[in-house]
Amino acid sequence: MSRRVSARKRRSREDFPLREQLKIEEGVFENRTMMFIGKLFTRKVVSRMRFIIGKGKEADVYLAEPGDKVKHGKVALKIFRLETSSFSNRMDYMVGDPRFNGIRNSITEIVGAWCKKEFGNLKIAKEAGVSAPAPYSFAGNVLAVEFLGEGDEPARALKDVGTGNPDATLDSILDDIRSLYRNNLVHSDISEYNILMKGDMPYLIDFGQAVAATHPKAGDFLRRDVTNILGYFSKVYGIDRDLEGEIARIVRG
């Protein structure tokens, strides 16, 4: 006679596809992260995990196949680390942001709020017409966004591939910075490392640290963004733009 599996031991509908899809990753994701990824399966945002496509100081990015809720293209899952997180170094972007009000001194809560913040910032960016990955969903420390690339090959950073039309690329980046500012947002971490090139089009990524234009340090962050990108294009392509003039164009429209 066959034995019934108790409800306590039976694998959940969320757990089953993850364990099947992530056999080679067994032990990499701790239980909370597995649970949050499972929620994205249940929401039909993703249907299958593929492989890692990027590693950073605070997060890893995985390629995933879309679920029924995603109309086209693949999905990139940005999974923020919980155990080895360096979010204590990000307080400048949290203090003064009402989205972090009431967050206890818990890395799980801080990372969860940061993930939610990046999702919200990406929504603002897309509504502003900025070239950035579309946000699909988030759960805990896992953020699902539009995959930028061709086939399974992710788009590469500006620092690695450069651009064949530097003047147009720089203009596009500065236009996006201005569009963000007009919609009350400052990216706060723009550089050749946080810009992906999809064909000839630059896409801004990594919006977790973006702050409202009313943030106490927004002016400093905006100046740093413009200084960084002008410095890169001056050094690599010999394009010299007036820093104060570009900042004034962004702020005054």
Span 33-55, average pLDDT: 95
Q: Could you tell me what percent of the chain has a pLDDT over 70?
A: 79
Is residue 15 domain-resident?
Answer: no
Better pLDDT: 224 or 105: 224
Q: Which domain holds residue 65?
A: 26-150
Q: What are the start-end ranges of the H helices in the chain?
A: 15-21, 31-42, 91-94, 107-127, 158-161, 166-182, 218-237, 243-252
Dihedral angle over CA of 155, 159, 161, 164, nearest 10: 110
pLDDT of residue 81: 87
Q: State whether 34 and 144 are in the same domain.
A: yes
- Using one digit for the tens of pLDDT, what is the confidence trace for 46-59? 999 999 999 888 89
Confidence of residue 106 (pLDDT cuts 50, 70, 90): confident
Confidence of residue 120 (pLDDT cuts 50, 70, 90): very high
pLDDT of residue 229: 98
CATH of the domain at 32: 3.30.200.20
pLDDT of residue 85: 54
**38-43: long-range contacts (C-beta < 8 A, 24 or more apart)?**
38/12, 38/14, 39/14, 39/139, 39/140, 40/67, 40/77, 40/137, 40/139, 40/142, 40/144, 41/14, 41/17, 41/67, 42/13, 42/14, 43/67, 43/69, 43/137, 43/139
Say how far residue 236 (Cα) sits from the centre of its chain: 26
pLDDT of residue 125: 98
Provide the annotated active-site residues: 189, 206
Q: State whether 139 and 221 are in the same domain.
A: no
Q: State whether 222 and 174 are in the same domain.
A: yes
Is residue 216 domain-resident?
Answer: yes
Q: How many domains does the chain have?
A: 2
Better pLDDT: 82 or 93: 82
Better pLDDT: 19 or 178: 178
CB 19 within 8 A of CB 29: no
Question: CA 154, CA 76: separation in Å to the nearest integer?
Answer: 9
* Domain end residue (candidates: 122, 150, 178): 150
Chain mean pLDDT for the chain: 86
